[in-house]
Structures are given as C-alpha cells and as structure tokens.
Amino acid sequence: MTDDVLFTVDGAIATITLNRPQKLNAVTPEMADAIVAAVEECNDSDTIRCVILTGAGERAFCAGSDIRELDTYETPWQFRNRPDYCDAFRALLKPTICAVNGYALGGGLETAMSCDIRIASDNAQFAAPEIKLGWIGGGGMAAHLMHSIGASNAALMLMTGDAIPADKALAWGLVSEIVPQAELLPRARAIADVIASRAPIAAETAKANLKAAVSMPVDKAIEYERDLQTICFATADAAEGRAAFKEKRAPVFRRR
C-alpha cells in the first residue's frame, strides 16, 4: 500500500486517511488501488465494525483526482474504466463516517457523499468544480447531490462550480454536524464507537436498507426493509438483545 493512503485499525474501528496533504490529498491511480485494497480488507474482516475516512493536514479532506495524472490515460475509454475510488467506498459493507477537514472538491466531494455519515470541520468547503475545467463529475456527483441537497441546490453547485462553506452544507443537509477542526476526529471516533457497539449484522443491514430506500420505489423499499428486519430477527444477536431487555442488562453482540 502506498504511503499516500494510511490504513489503521483500532479495536473495531478502521481509519482510512488520504495522506498527501501537500497536494490537498488529491488521489492518484496508485492511491485509488490502495483505497480498493483497504476497502476489501474492511469487508473481509469480522472484527471491523465501522470505518472512518479522513484526510491528512488542515487544508483539505480531498481535492478529487490529481488532474496532472488524467493525461496519463491513453484513451477516454481507459479513463472511464479506471479503478474508481468513489466506487470503492460505495462498496464498503460496514458503516462509514467521513470526517471532512477543509476542502472537499470534485471527487473529494463524491467520496464524502459515498459515505453514510458526514461531519465537517468549521473550515470545510464543498464544491463540484469540474465544470470550470470543461467536464462534469463522474463518481456519482449529480445523483448524490440530488438526494442530499435537492435539485435546485444541486444545480447551483454543478452549474457554477462554486464552493459552499460548512454552515451552508449543514443547512442544506450535506453534512450532519460541524465541529471545530481539533474536535473533528475525536467526534468521528465517538460516533464510530457507538455504531461499533451495536449489533454488527443489524448495522450493516441498516446500511443496505438505506441504499434500497434511495434506489427502490417506496412500496418495494418497505417490502425489502421487512425482509431485512426478518433476517436480523433470526440472528443470535437479536436473541441476545431480547434476552438483555428482559434481564435489564446491556446486550453483548458477537456478530451471529
């Protein structure tokens, strides 16, 4: 794994850090490969229950793909079929928290929106600036913005390319919380600790259920939710939860 992507595990929580602060954590093809590998490790682990994604340094979470690398693709088709780091994060089965410190631009914004929960430092800024260079985003930009902030706000960001500050991102629903920069990672860790304490199968099922809620008609999404609830209800963890409730104690979940 390249040093430009750091992967650490502390207990049940994994942290993926984009570690190229001198370039605003812009992602290279080598970094994309490392992200794919880190996601696969998280998905294969029975002990990792939550994943935090962040960027190194104080200036930026991620400025998207390194534009200087884009001309290395021999054809537009090769560019289109490259390993995509946004796809990798969407493939994570475990709950994900994005701690956005500073700029989240282009693919960095798409990456943040590919996570389940987003919290931001008070100096964070968000933008879809691709239009300023002659193209648009391709990592889920329009779809995620539409679902997150509505059609008019999405159009404003996509068609101007201008950034919005953290307080506007909060007001629009793009992030859940704003905290001082020094408190960003501790707050992300606190949320991750809570999620990791919950029944892991239920947490992963809740994530799958949220994806279905976005992509399915309402009646089918509710039907799917009921099926997922039934699957959870049949697990040993659910039996432990019911027993703990009756015995007035905290449940101990073991991913069963």
Residue 67 has pLDDT above 90, yes or no: no
- Please say whether the beta carbons of 53 and 75 come within 8 A: no
pLDDT at residue 255, as a whole number: 65
The Cα 39–Cα 25 span in angstroms is: 18
**Is 69 one of the catalytic residues?**
no
- Please say whether the beta carbons of 88 and 135 come within 8 A: no
- Give 68-122 pLDDT, tens digit per residue: 877 787 788 887 877 789 999 999 999 999 999 999 999 999 999 999 999 999 9
Judged on CB neighbours under 10 Å (0-12, 13-18, 19+), 33 is: middle
Torsion of CA 107, 109, 114, 117, to 10 degrees: 160
Nearest to 141 by CA among 124, 129, 125: 129
Among 130, 177, 225, 247, which one carries the catalytic annotation? 130
3-state secondary structure of 251: coil
CA 88 vs CA 94, 151, 159: distances in Å: 12, 26, 26
Residue partners of 42: CB distance under 8 A and separation at least 6: 14, 48, 51, 92, 93, 94
Residue spans of the domains in the chain: they are 5-196, 199-247
pLDDT at residue 2, as a whole number: 86
pLDDT at residue 75, as a whole number: 86
Tokens 């009646």, located at residue: 219
Among 110, 204, 225, 247, which one carries the catalytic annotation? 110
Q: What's the CATH number for 5-196?
A: 3.90.226.10
DSSP E strands, 42-95? 50-55, 60-62
To the question of pTM greater than 0.75 for the whole model, the response is: yes
Nearest to 96 by CA among 54, 147, 142, 44: 54
Q: Which amino acid is at 256?
A: R
**Is 110 one of the catalytic residues?**
yes
The arithmetic mean of pLDDT across residues 125-152, rounded, is 95
Write down the mean pLDDT value for the chain. 94
List beta partners, residue 5: 18
pLDDT > 70 fraction of the chain, expressed in percent and rounded: 99
Cα separation of the two ends of the chain: 32
DSSP E strands, the chain? 5-10, 13-18, 50-55, 60-62, 96-100, 103-105, 117-121, 125-127, 164-165, 177-179
pLDDT at residue 170, as a whole number: 98
The arithmetic mean of pLDDT across residues 183-197, rounded, is 98
Q: Residue 185: which H helix or E strand, with range?
A: helix 184-197
pLDDT > 90 fraction of the chain, expressed in percent and rounded: 89
Tokens 């001198």, located at residue: 22
